[in-house]
């Protein structure tokens, strides 16, 4: 479950929160994406609207990507 959550959030942020682009990239239906995003919002207790918060998530993914490339 954690994997699909992080993968979905990463794609959603990467695509500027555009549902059509993100659902196409993930090869899932738009409603499936919206369901996942709502679950993520509840888990994070976030609306995913705050700039500082979004920056923190994006930076976290960049750090994870960097760290995994160093292994």
CATH of the domain at 57: 1.10.10.2840
24-60 pLDDT per residue, tens: 999 999 999 999 999 999 999 999 999 999 999 999 9
Query: 53: which 2 tokens?
Result: 């918060």
pLDDT of residue 3: 79
Cβ neighbours around 31 below 10 Å, total: 10
Q: Which residues of 56-65 are buried (b: 16+ CB within 10 A; e: fewer)?
A: ebeeeeeeee
Strand residue runs (E) in the chain: none
Task: Please tell me the total count of domains within the chain.
Answer: 1
Name, in order, each residue with C-beta under 8 angstroms of 30's C-beta and a sequence gap of 6 or more: 19, 20, 23
Tell me the pLDDT band of 2, cut-offs 50, 70 and 90: confident
User: Which sign does the torsion angle of CA 5, 9, 11, 17 carry?
Assistant: positive
Residue 1 scores a pLDDT above 80: no
Note the pTM of the prediction, 2 decimals: 0.86
Query: What is the domain extent for residue 6?
Result: 2-69
């Amino acid at each position: 479950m954690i994997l699909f959550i992080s993968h979905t959030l990463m794609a959603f942020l990467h695509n500027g929160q555009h549902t059509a682009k993100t659902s196409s990239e993930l090869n899932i239906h738009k409603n499936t994406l919206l369901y996942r995003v709502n679950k993520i919002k509840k888990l994070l207790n976030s609306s995913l609207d705050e700039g500082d918060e979004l920056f923190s998530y994006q930076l976290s993914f960049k750090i994870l990507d960097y760290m995994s490339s160093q292994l």
